[in-house]
Amino acid sequence: MSVELRGIGMTSQRTRDRLVVRLREAGIQDERVLEVMRDTPRHIFVDEALASRAYEDTSLPIGFSQTISQPYIVAHMTEVLLKDFTPSRVLEVGTGSGYQTAVLAQLVPEVYTVERIAGLQEQARQRLARQLRLSNIRYKHSDGNWGWKQYAPYDGILVTAAPEEVPEELFNQLAEGGRLVIPSGPNGQQQLRVYTRDGESMKESVLGTVSFVPLLTGES
Ligand code: SAH
């Protein structure tokens, strides 16, 4: 492995191990998720100037007024998506830095990821394909409010930005028994929710208050 991926000092394996200890203390239990987060170099997903902070449990700026999600939130959403179930095809809305995408791609067979900011998605693609050599990801530059119909239905959908209300099209693209993990609600009052499709109805559970950047409309 290259020095860049392996990391040194504040980006070394020891620093990553400490992050995993903190995630466990915060309640993350899924060993598959913890192992993947121990192995994924989060420092390559942020600007070099911020690399020394990459293993703190905080969100960080990634440009274009967006942020890389806090590691706890990535772990929590992934754990919820995979609880007692391994989806084979997952749609992610909001590629951003690609960090959550990298975690998913190491846990499920196929990942489809949609991002409205072309520059962010291109950077993410380079990291995931060239640096991490993850080849089970397809990318689309578009407004994720419309999902990605071409490959629907999905057994899992994970949304990393918050709409006020869950877009109908995401429900439509969820397979029978499939699970949608999404923050939603007005700014300052967002809740993380999980929906499971049961025929024509959706079973909903509310997991708690969260703070995400808004799910916007249109492309940029
Ligand atoms: N999982 C990412 C989170 C980035 S923040 C990471 O950890 O890096 C949320 C992302 O959602 C941003 O990149 C933002 O541009 C994107 N986004 C916001 N609205 C969107 C929409 N309608 N369609 C697709 N992506 C959207």
Domain residue spans in the chain? Answer: 63-209
Compare 164 and 11 and report the one with higher pLDDT.
164
Ligand 1 neighbour 68 (Cβ under 6 A): yes
Pairwise CA distance, residues 90 & 101, whole Å: 10
Rounded mean pLDDT, 183-191: 94
Residue ID of nearest Cα to ligand 1 atom 2: 96
Task: Judge whether residue 17 has pLDDT over 90.
Answer: yes
**Mean pLDDT taken over the chain:** 96
Beta sheet of 191-198, edge-to-edge order: 137-141, 110-115, 89-93, 154-159, 174-184, 191-198, 201-209
Ligand 1 neighbour 169 (Cβ under 6 A): no
Task: Judge whether residue 1 has pLDDT over 80.
Answer: no
Is 69 designated active site?
yes
Pairwise CA distance, residues 176 & 187, whole Å: 31
pTM equals 0.97
Residue with tokens 């916007």: 216
Over residues 28-69, the pLDDT tens digits come to: 999 999 999 999 999 999 999 999 999 999 999 999 999 999
pLDDT of residue 77: 98
pLDDT of residue 75: 98
Q: pLDDT above 90 covers what percent of the chain?
A: 90
Instruction: Please check whether the domain covering 63-209 is classified as CATH 1.10.357.10.
Output: no
Nearest ligand 1 atom, CA 218: 22
Nearest ligand 1 atom, CA 145: 22
Over residues 106-141, the pLDDT tens digits come to: 999 999 999 999 999 999 999 999 999 999 999 999
Nearest ligand 1 atom, CA 64: 15
Sign of CA dihedral 59, 219, 190, 101: negative
Pocket residue to mutate for ligand 1, from 213, 219, 220, most atoms within 8 A of Cβ: 213
